[in-house]
Amino acid sequence: MASALETLCGQAYGAKQHHMLGVYLQRSWIVLIICTTLLLPLFIFTAPILRFLGQEQSIASMAGTFSLWFIPIIYSFVFSFTFQMYLQSQSKNRIIAYLAALSLILHISLSWITVTKLHMGVFGAMGSMVLAMWIPIFGQFAFLLCGGCPDTWTGFSWIAFKDLWPVIRLSLSSGAMVCLELWYNTILVLLTGHMKNAETEIDALSICLNINGWEMMISLGFLAAAGVRVANELGAGSAKAAKFSIVVVVGESLSIGSVLFVLFLLFRGSLAYVFTEDGEVASEVAVLSPLLAFSILLNSVQPVLSGVAVGAGWQSVVAYVNVTCYYLIGIPLGIVLGYLIGYQVKGIWIGMIFGTLVQTIVLICITWRTNWDNQVTIAQARVNKWLIPKSAETNGGREIA
């Protein structure tokens, strides 16, 4: 849902309405805190929900333990994601990178101490993750309050509680777009849990998805770049620059994805031993590696196009595309291949790759056929519709102070 902030802040910053970024940031906090609180029952009752869905007892119990630890983490997401969107829209990426590096160092160090030295197991790993997630947020708050963004942050304001409905609508469509993509991979794990020898299958699949997640971080960087550049250029009124940004970002991401595609095909036999010493799991990972390589290739394009959609404010359109391609094409095909034809986890993954391929082709067609001059008009109309005069916003900040 925080990606709505990327659209709003990016277009407002491009239109030089800098004071609106702080208002949008606070509105997003309000909306996301409420929605996160409404989601708490899913985390509290994860274990019984998974048992009801037919998962094995051991898997459901461990998932329930993890989900309880994730409660403070999901609240950290409210601030980490919104700060990220807010700062990226201003091209203040350095502070994000520094704090992310600090978080990584803390996470590795604390995990090593709690798991290896103190033998605290899952509790040590998750406790270190909670600390690693929250410490950078305090750093971002300090950066903001100490004058790191003087043009876009003028203090807390009561105005943030006004006109929330447009932000809620865009946040919901943004959340639908992103969640439909993330849940797509989650369903792959859920379906695998019902197969014979599920523990080995899930171990192997988890390794592949972990590697895929590492590569996805590269694509998500390009997604952010595409979203920021497209939003800034549309807000500034330059359709030509927006189109040029799309070509450059997609080209760079696809080049990196192609190199990784080849590497993962070449070294598929040794990939698993970074994560496990189990020969059976490693053998299964080697079988799944070609599918992993194709997923990586598609992921070098698809997230970038999603970033373009975020920058242009097309979240609701992409949500419909995701429903059709993922849930009406990819998952049914995967179930047929995996369960009815008997390809097991490979069949499920093939079906889901096909759904991603269809979605990528549709997004390419939408992006290619878009009238970007018309998108400039839409973006500037959105900025002007929700614009608050700078004097009113400043007065609102003084009132709450």
Question: Does residue 400 form part of some domain?
Answer: no
The pLDDT of residue 270 = 74
Taking a C-beta distance cutoff of 8 angstroms, is the pair 71, 43 a contact?
yes
Q: Which tens digit of pLDDT belongs to each residue from 128-181? A: 889 888 988 999 999 988 888 888 888 887 787 877 887 888 888 888 888 887
Whether residues 253 and 289 share a domain: the answer is: yes
The pLDDT of residue 399 = 41
pLDDT band at 236, cuts 50/70/90? confident
The pLDDT of residue 401 = 37
Q: Which tens digit of pLDDT belongs to each residue from 260-293? A: 888 888 877 677 777 777 777 778 778 888 888 8
What residue type is 24 in one-letter code? Answer: Y
pLDDT tops 90 at residue 33:
yes
- What value does the mean pLDDT take over residues 324-334? 90
What residue type is 361 in one-letter code? Answer: I
In angstroms, rounded to a whole number, what is the distance separating the alpha carbons of residues 349 and 188? Answer: 7
User: Among the three residues 133, 166, 199, which one is the final residue of a domain in this structure?
Assistant: 166
pLDDT tops 60 at residue 391:
no
Q: How many separate domains does the chain show?
A: 2
Q: What domain range is 89 assigned to?
A: 1-166
Whether residues 60 and 79 share a domain: the answer is: yes
Question: Does residue 394 form part of some domain?
Answer: no
Question: Per mean pLDDT, which range of 41-50, 121-130, 199-208, 280-289 is the poorest?
Answer: 199-208
pLDDT tops 50 at residue 328:
yes
Taking a C-beta distance cutoff of 8 angstroms, is the pair 300, 254 a contact?
yes
The pLDDT of residue 41 = 94
Taking a C-beta distance cutoff of 8 angstroms, is the pair 359, 321 a contact?
yes
Pick the closest to residue 249 from 229, 235, 269 (CA basis). 229
pLDDT band at 307, cuts 50/70/90? confident
Whether residues 10 and 38 share a domain: the answer is: yes
Choice between 19 and 198, residue whose per-residue pLDDT is larger: 19
Whether residues 246 and 291 share a domain: the answer is: yes
Whether residues 147 and 198 share a domain: the answer is: no
User: Among the three residues 110, 141, 166, which one is the final residue of a domain in this structure?
Assistant: 166
User: Among the three residues 119, 136, 166, which one is the final residue of a domain in this structure?
Assistant: 166
Contacts of 244 (CB under 8 A, 6+ apart): none
Whether residues 351 and 244 share a domain: the answer is: yes
The pLDDT of residue 223 = 83
Q: What sign results for the dihedral spanned by CA atoms 184, 187, 191, 197? A: positive
In angstroms, rounded to a whole number, what is the distance separating the alpha carbons of residues 170 and 203? Answer: 37
- Pick from 268-272, 367-371, 397-401 the range whose average pLDDT is largest: 367-371
Q: Which two tokens stand for residue 284?
A: 């299964």
Q: Report percent pLDDT > 70 for the chain.
A: 93
Question: Does residue 398 form part of some domain?
Answer: no
Whether residues 138 and 187 share a domain: the answer is: no
Whether residues 143 and 195 share a domain: the answer is: no
Question: Does residue 395 form part of some domain?
Answer: no
Write phi, then psi, for 371 (nearest 5 degrees): -85, 100
The pLDDT of residue 400 = 43
Question: Does residue 401 form part of some domain?
Answer: no
pLDDT band at 54, cuts 50/70/90? confident
Whether residues 129 and 248 share a domain: the answer is: no
Question: Does residue 49 form part of some domain?
Answer: yes
Whether residues 181 and 121 share a domain: the answer is: no
Distance of CA 25 to the CA centre of its chain: 18
Whether residues 119 and 20 share a domain: the answer is: yes
Write phi, then psi, for 237 (nearest 5 degrees): 90, 20
Whether residues 260 and 137 share a domain: the answer is: no
Contacts of 331 (CB under 8 A, 6+ apart): 184, 187, 351, 352, 355
- What value does the mean pLDDT take over residues 227-234? 87
Question: Does residue 399 form part of some domain?
Answer: no
The pLDDT of residue 398 = 44
Pick the closest to residue 5 from 121, 90, 106, 116 (CA basis). 90
Q: Within 13 Å and on the Cβ side, how many CA atoms surround 395?
A: 5
Question: Does residue 397 form part of some domain?
Answer: no
Taking a C-beta distance cutoff of 8 angstroms, is the pair 6, 311 a contact?
yes
